[in-house]
A and B are shown apart, each in its own frame.
Chain A
Amino acid sequence: MNWFNTSAILAAAYLAVFLESHLGGLRLLLGAQIDLLPALMAYVALTSGLTTVVLLAVCGGFWFDSLSANPLGTTVVPLYVAGALIHYHRGLILREQWIARFATAFAACAAVPFLSVLLMLTMGAEPLLGYGSLWQWVVMATGGCATTPIWYLLLDRLNHALSYPAQTEPGFRPDRDIKRGH
């Protein structure tokens, strides 16, 4: 695991939750706040290891729930489920293609709020739900998906700029050396 990469991802999650709480412009404009964590989880699931997925689900989920009226721990499991599913199938996903990146982010952004609300209803909480929630769900899924390029461009660049490049194998192999003149 690349610790720098993981730290940068957790810092991004921390900032994302703060921005969601502090900036209300989109909520005013669209009637719903965009959740940035699921799109970040989709990025992490396609680019990092399972440990980073778990760390993001736990830290991001707890941070989100601490600023929200959600029961503590509600967002952790939905984030992990979305991340683990994408991570498990990442061998089949063309992760260099933007369309695949958007599709995975959209799926995560649609699944996480749905699973969170389902979990809360199962536990007996009474969140504010109605016909308007359908619109909010659409905004959360599409809006969250629209933030995909931010994560890929920002975190990829940061990672490339500040971490050591992967060591490549040299073409020379001593066992394949042709000895001449004997």
Chain B
Amino acid sequence: MFKRSYYVAFGLVALLALLALNLPDRTAHKVKLAVNALYLPMFGLAGSFQGLLEQVSVLVLPRRTLQREVDTLQRENDELRLRLAQFEEAWRENQRLREALQWQERIPWRVKAAKVLGQDPSNWWRTIHIDLGSRDGMRPNLNVLTADGLVGRVSEVGFTRSRVLLVGDPGCRVAAQVRETREKGSVMPSASSLDRLVVELSYLPGTAACRPGHTVITSGDGGIFTNGIPIGTITEVQTNEFGLYLEARVRLAANLNRLDEVWVLIP
């Protein structure tokens, strides 16, 4: 049998773990943030190091390459400005029509850029940490996205940092619809796939006409995600085992494997 010291040590460890596991959610969240704060210097250091590396890489790059990049960006900028002017006109028209029909006014998106500090070290959750907290106006359930599409939602907010649940995490289910057919479903994690960019669109009606290549966007149902944010593209459609509804495999538009910067949508 074990010596007494092992039992005493186990008792202490188990007591501490039980205390931590049984803390009320709010207190556990605060304790977690306090422990988490120990890593602030490391994240700061890593950020500075990354910045230094970027500066060095700019210095090393030949002038010709940089000039080419500036030209490309300038061209892209001109094109986007043209498009923006076009969209602004459409937006005004939309507002006028909504006013005429007495529909609720559509609020334009306001976004805030955030740097990704780190990922969840465990394999059974999909979360990231960003460098915005309550001092920057963060609060739970704010939508997080990139230029390509939806990333997830804010779940825990600290003073200077927040945790974001990524699309594909068991705690982040998204009410979605297929843009082309307007059929609605729910985006769930795909546990069978190791690819973090693949999720499942479930509970589609059995008569749904969606097919591979169609785009999935947020539907706005459920009140958490704003409607119209691109989620991904359907790659496969199949009937579930009882034939009650359809399930589709969706490849996410945002590359969750290479997230350096994200945008938080502030309503």
B6 touches A50 (CB 8 A): yes
Give the complex CA separation of A128 and B12 in angstroms: 30
B14 touches A77 (CB 8 A): yes
The segment from B33-41, B70-78, B142-150 that touches chain A is: B33-41
A73 touches B19 (CB 8 A): yes
A65 to B, closest residue via Cβ:
B32
B21 touches A71 (CB 8 A): yes
Residues on the B chain within 8 Å of A131, using CB:
191-192
A144 smallest CB distance to B (angstroms): 12
Give the complex CA separation of A70 and B33 in angstroms: 13
Residues on the B chain within 8 Å of A80, using CB:
9-10, 13
B163 touches A132 (CB 8 A): no
B13 touches A18 (CB 8 A): no
A22 touches B46 (CB 8 A): yes
B191 touches A128 (CB 8 A): yes
Chain B residues 1-60 with CB under 8 Å of chain A are 2-3, 5-6, 9-10, 12-14, 16-21, 23, 28, 31-33, 35-36, 38-39, 42-43, 46
Give the complex CA separation of A123 and B31 in angstroms: 19
Residues on the A chain within 8 Å of B28, using CB:
71-72
A40 smallest CB distance to B (angstroms): 14
Task: Identify which of A14, A50, A77 contacts B5 (C-beta below 8 A).
Answer: A50
The segment from A51-59, A93-101, A160-168, A173-181 that touches chain B is: A51-59
Using a CB–CB cutoff of 8 Å, the interface residues on chain A facing chain B are 14-15, 17-18, 20-22, 24, 27-28, 31-33, 35, 50, 53-54, 57-58, 61-74, 76-77, 80, 84, 88, 113, 116-117, 120, 123, 126-133, 135-136, 140
**Chain A to chain B contacts (Cβ below 8 Å), 26 pairs:** A21-B118, A21-B129, A31-B195, A35-B122, A53-B9, A54-B12, A54-B13, A62-B20, A65-B35, A66-B38, A67-B36, A68-B121, A68-B127, A69-B165, A71-B28, A72-B23, A72-B31, A73-B16, A73-B17, A73-B18, A73-B20, A80-B13, A84-B10, A126-B170, A127-B124, A133-B191
